[in-house]
Chain A
Amino acid sequence: MTNRSPSPIVLLGTRFLSPYIMVFGFYVIFHGHYSPGGGFQGGTLLAAALLLIRIASGTKLAQLQFKDYLARPLAAFGVFIYFGTGLLALLMGGYFLDYGELPIPGLEPAYLRYWGILIIEIGVGLTVMTVLTLIYDNMVKGEDYA
């Protein structure tokens, strides 16, 4: 299946569609604490936007959107955000992931929990997006399907 000629219509369609899927993914992440959705669903939408370009245009051209050597450090950084927030609350005298104890000055405890959940969901979304992209990159390693 690798000797087909590339179709410009498919490439143009995916290039048109991918940024809108990505914007919807960011909407789902940033509205995760008062509507359905959250870090996992938003991260999966971002990964779907990346995989659409990867499966339509090939691995080489998709490096312009998201470089594959960035996936592993960003996944580790997302886990670091999650556990860093939880352990920071633990060190400040609360329980693990007790957002009310986060050391952000000048905020009420209700707003501390609001921002704490947002930070956690950004970390979860980053990890889910990069790990799903990493799975695809390792599955097609050495071959190109565009």
Chain B
Amino acid sequence: MYWELELILFIFLLITAVIALESKDLLVASVMLTMFSFLMALMFTTMGAVDVGFTEAVVGAGVTGILLVVAIYQTTYKTED
């Protein structure tokens, strides 16, 4: 129905996913995963699943980002591979 909006969201979703996979700094990767979650929530809302999108926005962009940052503080910033 809103295919133009979905196309733009898909393009940004792919960009954030590739940056999160290819980045050497893990803090950048976790922030990109948070952005991925928020774009995914916008896509769920566009498709009409408001409840699923709300859960994704709250859990993926709220709590998971904090827990990932704490996990990075306790290990290391750079990837080994």
The A55-106 residues at the B interface (CB cut-off 8 A) are 55
Shortest Cβ gap from A3 to chain B (Å): 13
Contact with B along A106-131 (1 / 0, CB 8 A): 00000000000000000000000000
Contact B70 A140 (CB under 8 A): yes
How far is B74's CA from A132's CA once the two chains are assembled, in angstroms?
18
Contact with A along B9-29 (1 / 0, CB 8 A): 000000000000000000000
Contact A136 B58 (CB under 8 A): no
The B5-60 residues at the A interface (CB cut-off 8 A) are 50-51, 54-55, 58-59
The prevalent SS among residues of B at the interface is helix
Return chain B residues, CB-CB under 8 Å to A1: 73
Interface residue range, chain A = 20 to 34
The prevalent SS among residues of A at the interface is helix
How far is B70's CA from A36's CA once the two chains are assembled, in angstroms?
30
Contact B63 A55 (CB under 8 A): no
In this assembly, does A22 line the interface, its C-beta being within 8 Å of a C-beta of chain B?
Answer: no
A residues contacting B by CB (< 8 A) are: 1, 36-38, 40-41, 44-45, 47-48, 51-52, 55, 132, 135-136, 139-140, 143, 145
